[in-house]
Structure 1
Amino acid sequence: MDVIGNGFLAGHLSTIAQGHPGVVVAAAGVSAAQHTSAESFRRETALLNDLIRRCSRSGERLVFFSTASSGLYTQPGQPGTEDGPVRPTTPYGQHKYALEQELAVSEIDYLTLRLGHVVGPDQPPHQLLPALTAQVRSGRVRIFPGSRRDLIDVTDVVTIIDALLGTGASRTTVNVASGCAVPIERIVRHIERRLGLTAQWVDGTPAVTQEISTAKLRRLVPRAERMGFGPDYYRRVLDKYLSPVGAAGSDHRPLPVTPL
């Protein structure tokens, strides 16, 4: 496996790189849902086009990371599916969906993975958990009422990708998430309890969130049924990576807490 990039996901995927020859992973794209930089979008588009040309010549399979965030799935009432309609509402969601479509009209072997909110060590500070943790530590958190977030441990993401590549799934899109979106208030409250801190909550713009369907994931990767996904899964993920104040001897490195 040739992992393109040196960031959060790229680092974790390096652990399975030897097991998948003939696979190219585009792990150097835009990773911030709040991102609106046209230049960053252009760079990722250029990278993907270069990799499509490469894979067209070499016959390699290309793995592309899209999003299963509320920027893409915006129709509440039923879980968002890979084959169902999507109406991206943010520049980030529109950008990722446009790249999905470029892959779909290409002739290469590809796998598009729509990721939930991945959590783990060495995350950049703009991503969900480091950002929320920094806000809690600062004493002030902005809450968008109605928003829900589907958290998934990066180790589970790597396990799923490893399994998906082993199935030979081709020219398809798969949601990679826990399937249990959690109200943002519960996530922030659990972070506060875990850190032993209380922050002031400031309301932002009310949000609309669509659940994420994992039916296709569970069909392709039966092991996902045994990975502990469920209503309490998010608590285990937070507890794994957020050390309580004064804790010592933790088995895992805490998330970085670089201030926003």
Structure 2
Amino acid sequence: MKIVGTGFLAGALAPLEGAFPDVVAVAAGVSGTGDIPERAYAREAELVHRLLRECLREGRKLLFLSTASAAMYSDPHEPGRESGPVFPVNAYGRHKLGLEAVVAASGADHLILRLSHVVGPGQPPHQLLPALVRQLRSGRVRVHRGAWRDLVDVADVVTAVDRLVARGTSRTVVNVASGAAVPVELIVDHLAAGLGVSAVREYADRPQPHRVCVDRLHRLVPELASRPADEEYARRVLDAHLPAYR
């Protein structure tokens, strides 16, 4: 596997580098929903376009990592399904969906994975876990009341990539998530207890129930279907990676 990128997900996928020589994994680009300059979106688009041309020329498969966050799946009443429809709520979600369309229409062999909130070592500071840890340690944390997040261990993401590619999964979209979204308040409580800190909480009402359907993932990668689809999985993921922050 040719891994394009040098960040968190590229590092996590590194063990697969010696396998799947016909696959190009795009593990670079925009990875957050903050104040992102247009040039950052343009750079990712140009990279994907270039790699698609290479894949077409060389007969390789493009693995594109998209998002299963609330930026993509904004319907509070239905779990996000790969078969759509989807109505992205911000520039980040619209950008990822647009690139998915380019990949699907390119004619190149491809696999699109929509990732929920991945948790693991070496995450960039703007992502959920390091951002919350930083706030808790500062003594003040902002909590979006009513918001939910689907956490998935980066090790499970790597397992999903390995199994899906090995089994020849192609020309489709697969959600890679736990299927067990939890309230942000639970995540903050668990982190504070694990770090042994207390912080003043600033609440903002932002009702955002968020669920991701993982039926397709579990059908294609039954090894991941045995995980508990409840709050226990989220707690286990947080506990696995909290030591790096202590």
Q: 1:112-123 to 2 correspondence within 5 Å?
A: 112-123=112-123
After TM superposition, give the deviation of residue 228 of structure 1 in Å: 4.2
After TM superposition, give the deviation of residue 120 of structure 1 in Å: 0.7
> Do 1:35 and 1:91's aligned partners in 2 also have CA atoms closer than 8 Å?
no
Structure 1, unpaired ranges of 5+: 244-253
**Secondary structure, counterpart of 1:237 in structure 2:** helix
Aligned to 2:148: 148
Aligned to 1:129: 129
> Do 2:147 and 2:210's aligned partners in 1 also have CA atoms closer than 8 Å?
no
Residues 191-222 of structure 1, C-alpha deviations (whole Å, 9 max, x = no match) = 01101111111122513233100000001111
Aligned residues: 246
> Do 2:149 and 2:210's aligned partners in 1 also have CA atoms closer than 8 Å?
no
Letter in 1 for 2:137: R
Q: Tell which deviates more after alignment, 54-63 or 27-36.
A: 27-36
**Secondary structure, counterpart of 2:131 in structure 1:** helix
Work out the CA distance in 2 between the residues paired with 1:33 and 1:83.
Answer: 23
**Secondary structure, counterpart of 1:146 in structure 2:** strand
Aligned to 2:167: 167
After TM superposition, give the deviation of residue 103 of structure 1 in Å: 1.0
Is 1:157 the counterpart of 2:157? The answer is yes
Work out the CA distance in 2 between the residues paired with 1:202 and 1:93.
Answer: 26
Work out the CA distance in 2 between the residues paired with 1:130 and 1:195.
Answer: 12
Is 1:49 the counterpart of 2:84? The answer is no
After TM superposition, give the deviation of residue 36 of structure 1 in Å: 2.5
Aligned to 1:251: none
Aligned to 1:246: none
Q: 1:27 to 1:141 in 2, by over 3 A?
A: same
**Secondary structure, counterpart of 1:73 in structure 2:** coil
Residues 20-50 of structure 1, C-alpha deviations (whole Å, 9 max, x = no match) = 1100000111111224210100000000000
Q: 1:177 to 1:204 in 2, by over 3 A?
A: same
- Identical-pair percentage: 48
> Do 2:150 and 2:210's aligned partners in 1 also have CA atoms closer than 8 Å?
no
**Secondary structure, counterpart of 2:145 in structure 1:** coil
Work out the CA distance in 2 between the residues paired with 1:189 and 1:93.
Answer: 28
Aligned to 1:30: 30
Residues 24-83 of structure 1, C-alpha deviations (whole Å, 9 max, x = no match) = 000111111224210100000000000111111111000011101111100011211001
Aligned to 1:58: 58
Letter in 2 for 1:68: A
After TM superposition, give the deviation of residue 229 of structure 1 in Å: 4.2
Q: Tell which deviates more after alignment, 196-205 or 67-76.
A: 196-205
Aligned to 2:11: 11
**Secondary structure, counterpart of 1:69 in structure 2:** coil
Aligned to 1:242: 242
Aligned to 2:74: 74
> Do 2:64 and 2:113's aligned partners in 1 also have CA atoms closer than 8 Å?
yes
Aligned to 1:98: 98
Aligned to 2:109: 109
Q: Tell which deviates more after alignment, 32-41 or 68-77.
A: 32-41
The CA RMSD over aligned residues, in Å, is 1.3
**Secondary structure, counterpart of 1:157 in structure 2:** helix
> Do 2:177 and 2:212's aligned partners in 1 also have CA atoms closer than 8 Å?
yes
Letter in 1 for 2:171: R
Aligned to 1:184: 184
**TM-score where L is the length of structure 2:** 0.97
Work out the CA distance in 2 between the residues paired with 1:102 and 1:204.
Answer: 36
> Do 2:3 and 2:14's aligned partners in 1 also have CA atoms closer than 8 Å?
yes
**TM-score where L is the length of structure 1:** 0.91
